[in-house]
Amino acid sequence: MPELPEVEVVRAGLARHVARRTVTSVEVLDPRPLRRQDGGVQAFVDQLTGRTLTAVVRRGKFLWLPLDDGRALSAHLGMSGQLLVRGTAPAADSGPVHERVSGAALRTDPNALTGGRSVDLSVTEQPRYVRDLSTSPRHLRVRLHLSTYPGTDGGGGAVPDPGLDDGAVLDLVDQRMLGGLHVVDLVPTADGAPGGMGSPEPLLPADATHIARDLLDPALKRTGPDGVVSKVRASQRAIKTLLLDQGLVSGVGNIYADEGLWEAGVHGLRPGTALGPRVVARILETTAEVMRRALQAGGTSFDALYVDVEGASGFFARELRAYGRQGQDCRRCGTGMLREVLGGRSHTYCPRCQTRPRRSR
């Protein structure tokens, strides 16, 4: 399943290509991805048609596109869902990076064109899969037809004309049908801080209030009696299980949990109660740092299911130091990496760098 870096790559690309466009019409080719929509397919179509997508926001792995009527289009990618754009160009205020360079070159040095500032790779290369999409690609479930960008608002921002449709579309393509879309109300955040990355508004979808803030969210409270560190240390669950708990801290999945624990030198079976505050803080920071590095590489892609909005794959898989490396030498000490099942999920670790806790009798 896509984790925070992969969903953030999608969010950034959508923000470039579809934010501030108006939905001119909606095609539902398969109703199953709309199973969470109150009122069914017709309600989904009616509530989206004529609405402007004002932003694209992410909290952890959770993604939503606020609408101009105060509601939001909520999107969940599931195991194989893709949100793909076709027939668009980046918004007029998308920044100075528009030179035609290869994606491979930028992913080798993502900051090459910006003097050290990170760039959104979706604006630097022509689409690959999406450019050649037929009108009915395989596994296409829902298609949103979008307005064009006829001009600017005087301050450099693009202004969509709801009456113009230039062939731009946003597609939900999903092979396994575990993802979905639905229109939902927005509610205030409990702490008054922005709901997530991509918008300053203190709002989030009503069905996402149980999703904790993620490790890259500046509003995440890590220390203090109510912080993540204290909550981890109060639990007897294994630290890897705690990292995967989206109600504790969101955005971390199996890949980045293994990577963060390897970086911190901690075995995933160690219970939270056995870890000191500095160790927990180190685990959180190393996991966050791994995700930052993954973002620079466009996320982790193992096959064509994990792509950005233009169909481009991420390249962080080649930098993985733990996940999927069982039987290979540890990149730190050379010991053979091991794999075991922990709470129903695989856990890859170095038996020397990440000492396994003794089994209690």
Instruction: Give me the catalytic one of 58, 61, 71, 231.
Output: 61
Contacts of 154 (CB under 8 A, 6+ apart): none
**What single letter denotes the amino acid at residue 268?**
G
Residue-range domain boundaries for the chain: 4-208, 228-349
Distances (CA, A) of 266 to 157, 216, 280, 284, 352: 47, 21, 10, 12, 10
308, 9 contact by CB (below 8 A): yes
CA proximity to 259, closest of 283, 275, 239: 283
- Percent residues over pLDDT 90 in the chain: 54
**Active-site annotation holds for 221:** no
**Active-site annotation holds for 240:** no
The CATH number given to 228-349 is: 1.10.8.50
CA proximity to 295, closest of 32, 99, 9: 9
DSSP 270-328: SBGGGS-HHHHHHHHHHHHHHHHHHHHTT-B-SSTTSB-TTSPBPBGGGG-SSTT-TTS
Compute φ and ψ for 180, nearest 5 degrees: 175, 170
Q: What is the pTM of this model?
A: 0.79
Give the pLDDT of residue 298: 58
**Active-site annotation holds for 107:** no
Instruction: Give me the catalytic one of 2, 66, 194, 205.
Output: 2
Looking at every residue in the chain, the average pLDDT score rounds to 79
Residues 104-124: pLDDT tens digits?
A: 333 333 333 233 333 333 333
**Active-site annotation holds for 61:** yes
191, 94 contact by CB (below 8 A): no
169, 85 contact by CB (below 8 A): yes
Instruction: Give me the catalytic one of 331, 332, 345, 356.
Output: 345
Alpha-carbon torsion angle 115, 121, 123, 124, nearest 10: 70
What's the pLDDT band for 153 if we cut at 50, 70, 90?
very low
Residues 349-361: pLDDT tens digits?
A: 999 999 999 875 4
* CATH for 4-208, options being 3.40.50.10860, 3.20.190.10, 1.10.220.10, 1.10.540.10: 3.20.190.10
Give the pLDDT of residue 131: 36
Using CA atoms, how far apart are residues 172 and 200, in angstroms rounded to an integer?
A: 26
Radius of gyration, CA atoms only, the chain: 21
Residues 300-317: pLDDT tens digits?
A: 543 444 444 444 444 456
Neighbours of 104 (CB within 10 A): 10
